[in-house]
Amino acid sequence: MTNHIERIIELDDRLVVELSYKRVGQFFDPDDPSVISQRDLSDDAEKALLYSIIDRESKKPVEYIIRFPVSEVTPDVEAGLPEAVLTYFRYRCESAKRNLRVILKRIKYGLIIGLVLSAGLLAIGIYLYYNSPNDIFRGIIIGSIVIFCWVALWDPIDLFLHQYMFQKGAIRIGVKRILKSTVRVEKASVQPNGMPDPDYHS
């Protein structure tokens, strides 16, 4: 369950993402005491900013409108929140690039070790296979070799498919678009449920 209202408007020249929150505190990490412009975002805000554009037209510039009740929008929030968003994702982008370099090294060395080990196991398996006295023993050898080779290569394959490709995609599709986006804060009147009215414009 999310704690915000999301509205996405696809215009000819840009993608507009409107996110409405009851309180400014919902947008930021509650454990971060930094000033607004340097605060970390909450998990909900991070996902909302990313997921709202990840499957949309990739060439359109993005404009984020973050909406709060009038009483929540102080001058610090109005000026500092856009900077906080860009600072947070700039750090995320740099961190993800460092992680990619580490993952690539793990994939490279994992593949080298896995392939060397697999080659050795195959050589032993071929020798035992042709010197085996019966078919049952040959079947056990083949099955064991296949399992051991798969185990030896599992880590680099898993890293490539589930971490490297995902993080690279997140940088390309999400984070870099956010860094090039415009972010602004808007004041809104409050609906009976306490949420900002998305049709109100300050």
As a whole number of angstroms, the longest Cα–Cα distance in the chain is 86
Contacts of 54 (CB under 8 A, 6+ apart): 173, 174
* Residue 198: predicted pLDDT: 64
What's the pTM value of the predicted model, to 2 decimals?
Answer: 0.71
Quote the CA–CA distance of 111 and 89 in Å, as a whole number.
Answer: 32
In whole angstroms, give the CA distance from residue 178 to residue 62: 7
- The reported pLDDT for the residue numbered 63 is 95
Domain ranges of the chain: 4-95+177-188, 98-171
Task: Indicate if the alpha-carbon torsion angle 158, 160, 165, 168 is positive or negative.
Answer: positive
Q: What is the pLDDT of residue 197?
A: 66
Query: pLDDT averaged over consecutive 10-residue blocks of the chain (202 residues)?
Result: 81 91 92 90 92 78 93 92 93 86 89 86 77 72 80 86 80 79 89 68 54
pLDDT of residue 41: 94
Residue 56: predicted pLDDT: 74
